[in-house]
Structure 1
Amino acid sequence: MGRATPAILVVEDHPTIARQVVDFLDGLGWQTDHAGTGALALELATRERYDVIVLDLNLPDADGVDVCRAIKQRAPRNVPILMLTARDAFEDKARGFHGGADDYLTKPFDLRELALRCEALARRGRLHVSQSLEVGPLTLLAAERRAACHGQPLALTHSGFRILALLAEAHPRAVSRAALSHELWGAQPPDSDALKSHVYALRRALEAAGGAARIVTIAQLGYRLALGDV
């Protein structure tokens, strides 16, 4: 599989839901494979390299949590897993997270939210795998959660680093406010001013390092990382 666009494995036995998810992600230009059983999911996950696996909790041949755990143990890399379920009880979510799931989405769901969560997981996974990321004058070290501009360390908060990492991964594309908010706070974001405050602090840190990298506001969308005079 090529790596220009997100590669997603959709593990869902319900034919209508599977078709809707695959068609929607295909429409975004993503690369998608589909598995209707846990056995096929495990085979594909250990053979191919996916950015995200969307995994249904209830499969005809296996428990989704067991499949999740097996993928985490056998896949060639720590691929992020988004678990789907019709159950909304805390105990079911806790069981999924304890089994290795990285995120959780309850049916019925908005396909746009599914794509949003997959994007966030894919970006997080790529930075985790590479451990470092260089974009123009910026260098980000994932393990230490440190960043520098032209070698000068940036004074970033934990949230500031996560925002910068998302913008650097997406460069030169913009990242929506919704995607940034979900990355920071999941499904329960605080008031709208919280994200603005973190972006403001990040801008100040970049300015203090010489301004070679800037955060540009894109009207009615979100933010973009700009390098130099671009």
Structure 2
Amino acid sequence: MRILIIEDNPDIVANLYEYFEPLGHQLDNARTGYAGLIRAAEQRFDVIVLDGMLPGLDGLEVCRRLREEQQCNAPVLMLTARDTVHDKVAGLRAGADDYLVKPYSLIELEARLDALVRRVRVSGPDPVLRFGELQLDTGTFEARRAGQRLELARFGYKLLAALLRAAPRLVTREELEQELWKDEPPLSDALRSHIYALRQAVDKPFPSSRPMVVTVAGIGYRLVDDDASE
């Protein structure tokens, strides 16, 4: 499992790493609610362990933003000292999938995370394609970079989906033309125009960030990201 831990207590974080890493799980950690939102937008996780009491944004607000703003579909388990029925109901209504009260058993936590991930895998693949700061919900055709919604034309969505599915690998011009026009590509170099429009939507609104849509001269195009493994 790829597990994101949004928790500000260093002892709890160290305890979770000590337990889960030897089992072969990959962990990442954010110490604040804002940092957790950035991590969740930049990378794909199988499950998120979310503390209820965080500096900056509390766990309830983080969970709401994950669901409503970032359209994050990863299961969320809230791990918190708040133990009233009202607290549990508030967490579930904010978008959490499960709720575990501190102090807790690591074995029970592992079992609950396994169950959440298993439930998602049975229900079908995640409809959201992600790479670095980019994500595209193939069900709603909503695209975002760093949480900011992108305005794309119809061909822009198709191009972005093809590049996201392959990322960080290169996609040839022929493959992209097949994606857009099947076996009847236009005589003009229309692909270049659609790639230009995609860059305008994906890269231009972020002048301080590295462009993500890159041309490999004479071959095709690919997505790049400084923080994504290639």
Q: For this structure pair, what is the TM-score category when the shorter chain's length is used for normalisation?
A: 0.5 to 0.7
Residue 109 of structure 1 and its aligned partner are, at CA, apart by 0.4
CA contact (8 A) 1:37 1:59 kept: yes
Residue 106 (str. 1) matches residue 101 (str. 2): yes
Q: Distance in 1 between matches of 2:94 and 2:79?
A: 13
Correspondence for 2:77: 82
Runs of 4+ in 1 over 4 A off after TM superposition: none
Correspondence for 1:13: 8
Alignment counterpart, residue 49 of structure 2, candidates 48, 54, 57: 54
Q: Distance in 1 between matches of 2:72 and 2:123?
A: 10
Correspondence for 1:165: none
Q: Where does structure 2 lack aligned partners over 5 or more consecutive residues?
A: 127-230
- The 5 A counterparts of 1:57-136 are 57-75=52-70, 77-130=72-125
Letter of the aligned partner of 2:123 in structure 1?
H
Q: Distance in 2 between matches of 1:22 and 1:71?
A: 23
Residue 88 of structure 1 and its aligned partner are, at CA, apart by 1.1
Q: Secondary structure at the match of 1:130?
A: coil
CA contact (8 A) 1:55 1:83 kept: yes
Q: Could you give the per-residue CA deviations for residues 91-115 of structure 1, whole angstroms, max 9, x where no partner exists?
A: 0001000100000000000111111
TM-score (norm 2): 0.53
Q: Could you give the per-residue CA deviations for residues 156-214 of structure 1, whole angstroms, max 9, x where no partner exists?
A: xxxxxxxxxxxxxxxxxxxxxxxxxxxxxxxxxxxxxxxxxxxxxxxxxxxxxxxxxxx
CA contact (8 A) 1:51 1:126 kept: no
Correspondence for 2:24: 29
- The 5 A counterparts of 1:101-180 are 101-130=96-125
Q: Distance in 2 between matches of 1:99 and 1:10?
A: 18
Q: Could you give the per-residue CA deviations for residues 144-164 of structure 1, whole angstroms, max 9, x where no partner exists?
A: xxxxxxxxxxxxxxxxxxxxx
CA contact (8 A) 1:22 1:34 kept: no
Q: Secondary structure at the match of 2:95?
A: coil
Correspondence for 1:145: none
Q: Distance in 2 between matches of 1:11 and 1:45?
A: 10
Q: Distance in 1 between matches of 2:70 and 2:110?
A: 22
Residue 125 of structure 1 and its aligned partner are, at CA, apart by 1.6
Residue 76 of structure 1 and its aligned partner are, at CA, apart by 5.5
CA contact (8 A) 2:52 2:82 kept: no
CA contact (8 A) 2:66 2:72 kept: no
Q: Where does structure 1 lack aligned partners over 5 or more consecutive residues?
A: 1-5, 132-230
Correspondence for 1:147: none
Q: Give the percent of matched residue pairs that are identical in Structure 1 and Structure 2.
A: 46
Q: Secondary structure at the match of 1:9?
A: strand
Residue 38 (str. 1) matches residue 62 (str. 2): no
Q: Secondary structure at the match of 2:56?
A: coil
CA contact (8 A) 1:46 1:76 kept: no
Letter of the aligned partner of 2:4 in structure 1?
L
TM-score (norm 1): 0.53
Residue correspondences, number: 126
